[in-house]
Homo-oligomer: A and B are copies of this chain.
Amino acid sequence: MSELRRDPIIERWVIVDTDNPTKPEDFEKEEIVYRTGDCPFCYGNEATTPHEVEVIRDPATHPNKPGWQVRVVPNKFPALQIEGEIERRGVGLYDMSNGIGAHEIIIQTPYHHKEIPDLEDYEVENVIAMYCRRMNDLHKDTRFKYILLFKNYGPSAGASLEHPHTQLIALPMIPKNVQEELDGAYKYFEYRERCIFCDIIRQELQEKERIIFESKYFIAFCPFISKFPFEVWIIPKKHQEAYCMMNQEQIQELAKMLKNTLQRIKDVLYNPAYNFIVHTSPINVEHREGYHWHIEIMPKLTRVAGFEWGTGFYVVPTPPEVAAKYLKQS
């Protein structure tokens, strides 16, 4: 029989198939093909992107030329545009606003075929640190209230370009899904004077069965209230509100952990498409206590259908306890 589990943060139910868990080999496979040919993110094609806004490169080389390791450029086809003031207006019933925001691409490496697991540790560190640098820089623009950092890997996760990259979008409002998570965490903190994520970490470390691995600063685990099969969270063990509050040692450790986790997901699940999203605190708003940043990695193994769209419930064919066992053994 299936089991309903309730997310204590955003009050969503998930339906977990505990009787008949789907195994890694039972999911439909997606072949992720790397085409050769012109890629705007490859070495030598720097002129085909907008000018770089930040870069890690050999000091002897020139901007927008080869010689870089991590390169950040504005998205050529941005969902939102950086120039202008926010203008909200009503149209009858509705509210409208112009599309102000930043939309940047963090090109993780010059190598078209090297995703995070294929990079050296120090190269992943550079990527992780660049995420911080861009967030810190955009934080200064007080129009922005939230910075979303996310990665789409593979076509079914929504990636349109193969070359390893991460996206960053700075928004003039706190988006709905983020606000819900924040509200849940703040409410819990007000009521209990404890961080709900710290409590989750405590319970997960005590029950052990969903932990994939633990390091000095972080744990990687399949949360009890996973929305997707083989969902993995990486979270700092000690309370920390925002991604950018990591010190150098934490950045180094997170790089190893992210690389290792993505490698396991690749091995166990036959190189699936995935999204990862950095969940962090909002910026340029009144500070409230109770949020704890983390990364949510969601392999795309199933398709969201009418039931999920209609209810906001998620059906999880592999319980996180089973998923963690596979990922641990890998």
Q: How many copies does the complex hold?
A: 2
Task: Assess the B13–A152 pair: CB atoms within 8 A.
Answer: no
- Interface of A toward B, CB cutoff 8 Å: 1-6, 8, 10-13, 15, 79-81, 91-99, 148, 150-152, 155-159, 167, 169, 171, 173, 175-178, 180, 196, 199-200, 203, 207, 224-225, 275-277, 279, 298, 303-307, 309-313, 315
Query: Can you offer 29 A-B residue contacts whose CB atoms are under 8 A?
Result: A1-B81, A2-B80, A3-B97, A4-B96, A6-B96, A12-B176, A13-B176, A15-B79, A92-B203, A93-B196, A93-B200, A94-B224, A94-B225, A150-B306, A150-B307, A150-B310, A152-B305, A155-B303, A157-B305, A158-B305, A169-B311, A171-B311, A176-B313, A177-B309, A178-B310, A275-B309, A276-B306, A277-B309, A304-B304
Task: Assess the A95–B8 pair: CB atoms within 8 A.
Answer: yes
CB distance from A179 to the nearest CB of B (A): 9
Cα distance, A148 to B313, chains bound together (Å)? 12
CB distance from A312 to the nearest CB of B (A): 3
Task: Assess the B176–A306 pair: CB atoms within 8 A.
Answer: no
| Closest B residue to A274 using CB positions | B306
